[in-house]
Structure 1
Amino acid sequence: MEKIKTLNFAGYFRNFAPILLLFFITSTGFAFQDDRDFNEYSGEILNNKNGKAISSAYLSLNNSNISTVSNTDGEFSLKVPKDLMDATVTVSVLGFQSKTLPLDFFKVEGTEVRLIENVEELSEVTLYKATNARLLVQDMLAKKDENYLSDESIMTSFYRETIKKGWTNVSLSEAVVKIAKSPYNSSKKDLVSLYKARKSTDYDKLDTIALKLKGGPFNTLFLDMMKYTEYVLRDEMLDSYNFSFDQPTKINDRYMYVVDFKEIDESDPWYYGKLFIDAETSTLVKADYSLNVDDKKKAEMMFVKKKPSGSKVYPTELNYQVDYAQNGDKWHYAYGRAQMEYVVNWKKKIFNSKYKIDSEMVVTNWEKYAGDNWRSENTLIRPNIVMVDDVSGFNDADFWGSSNIIEPEKSIQNAIDKIKRKLD
């Protein structure tokens, strides 16, 4: 096998500055709840009509800040402190009626939550008063200060990053992080501290290239479009887009405008997608968008920092998703996902190598910031982080303790099982 060369993808935003390679992390020393003081429930979120799995369904424990999401197979796990056994859980997702259930509905395993599709003809609802899509987006940005968290907070989040070559998992990173989330009306950047992490990479399956995704949890944190408006939708950029209305919808039983947006100038890779805006408050509740990278040369210059000689490396697909959750009359970042596909062409090889990189993060709990010593007491990671291999956590069945996580989909679970067998 040839000496492994390094390929680093700056796979988040084209406007983000070039960054360095590695940053090593030590434990932060966060005190988590005793593992014996919670119950864990698991199951599936399904379409009531056809029994199909529903991915990215949001499960929130009412009267608390605890939450999680279902994976791509519709599976979920939810850990609830034993002093909250009287709570209820609300399950919501785009296109379905939300459902609130008592905690005793949930089982340790095998729980089935079936959601009913929205069938209301929403275009007839008189609540929809906006007639100009661009002005609605402008109003959405203008109301950022009143609609989103105005106090600093500490968010506990679960992060997962996978790299596949073809259909084979070649790298898996998972982590629980703490985010010092600055107010949405502040230009202060968010801080991230790593609490617990594990990573395994199968370098043999990577041939002569070791893919390293730079940014780690920041890849998904920077998808917070309302906090980091400078990347996609800052006020002065609005003239660069065409905006139009799509059919309205509902999320968590709230009426939503759906605004399609698309950059006018297509000389460089350009953004396009959908904004889901609350009809009552003009709050951005969800965004699904992509970056067109048909121009391979410019896309390579933008997203590939290093590559081996004799190769062409370029992205072929970049898709993003961000969801917000409501707490009282304020909203906050709840879930982010970036899905990227890359091709590696070698001069003397007939076949290309195709790689899929998927990173996602869900906020599983949060609390108001208390004290000014958070930075000094915790080891912070930088936006240029590359997750470092550490397989020890895969042998510990209780590695995550009381932390809520995104239940691994089947292919990821297979990869975890394979890692465990190697360690044994």
Structure 2
Amino acid sequence: MGSELIYRGHDAQPAPDTYSPKPDKPLLWLSRPIRYMLREQRLLCVLVGIVITTVFFSILPSKPGTAALGGSGSGYSFDPVPYSSLNRLEEYQHRAAYHHPMLSSGAGKVPLGLKRKGLRIVVTGGAGFVGSHLVDRLMQRGDSVIVVDNFFTGRKENVMHHFGNPRFELIRHDVVEPLLLEVDQIYHLACPASPVHYKFNPVKTIKTNVVGTLNMLGLAKRVGARFLLTSTSEVYGDPLQHPQVETYWGNVNPIGVRSCYDEGKRTAETLTMDYHRGAGVEVRIARIFNTYGPRMGIDDGRVVSNFVTQALRKEPMTVYGDGKQTRSFQYVSDLVEGLMRLMEGEHVGPFNLGNPGEFTMLELAEVVKETIDPNAKIDFRPNTEDDPHKRKPDITRAKELLGWEPKVSLRKGLPLMVKDFRQRVFGDQKESSTTTSSSS
């Protein structure tokens, strides 16, 4: 009988009728580190290390200046967050929370002389008379300063002593054209301020006041910067109120030869307040009265510089009209102090910044004669159009809210200006005579 050969390896299992997926694999990625930690008491070592580290850092003394404001023994201090890790807007907000009481809760007002982190500040018209003195103070305080000037009335010589300082930049630019910068504060001074200069091209003057101010306000809105407008006492025109307070609306001729400046500044104030109310831009407005000091333009047509230059050159001092019209004269360092207090303070303004000491033009001429040449003569000429008869600031608001008032009297400040003018006037004459002899 034949044997049956049976290949049992091929005994087929009954095929399942339904599909059954493979069972899930264990979470190896989770189990492996757990087994590693449990092996050889590694978990115990980790716990011991954590305890030692905690004890070590709790024993270390905290560094001075890193405690929060109001902390025990800390006084005024600074947040240790490195500024390099913040973008520009966050950096300004971080600084502003300390520097500006209105942006922070519970932080006191920071005095101007207190050492603190430097800000990045742009000064339009920073190569001019007032602007260059402001730049000096900001640089001395430790800020980084960008000067923007088209050099129509500004002089590069006014800021040359800052060349080479890594915290100083100079840009030749007209504010009528847009400018993109990242800054914390904007001091907007750009505009010719003397009648000789702003009457030279009146359309350009009003464009600087209107379009230039629009551009700078737009920049302040984009980067979250605080904006300070330097307006002028000319917004009061030929005032019917004396002395002038900030609530006085003025008596201005809108179609006169000085209107490009007077009405331009009035419009600039309007734009500034509209950006403040409508766009939330932090703004400040200063109304500057007659200011004098070193670096004034020698032939800028303003009365103090005219009298000083003419007396130095042995020329008659020109007095327009009967000489009984009055002005107030503040020294430039007083003005710079007022501008900085306004920028760092809590109040929008406007604020009158001027010296309430009132002088007639004849009295000013006598002071110049005492300082330079007792034998100087006076030449009377017809008065100019729209020339204000009286000009004197009421600075009550500045005293009460800014704690500011001028310190330098005319008889103390004028000799400092004369010293600068003497060097420039006679230096220019020496250069001119040298050039003439060389050409001949």
- TM superposition score normalised by structure 1: 0.23
* Bigger proportion of residues as strand: 1
* Higher RCO, Cα 8 Å, sep 6+: 1
Of structures 1 and 2, the larger Rg is shown by: 2
* Bigger proportion of residues as helix: 2
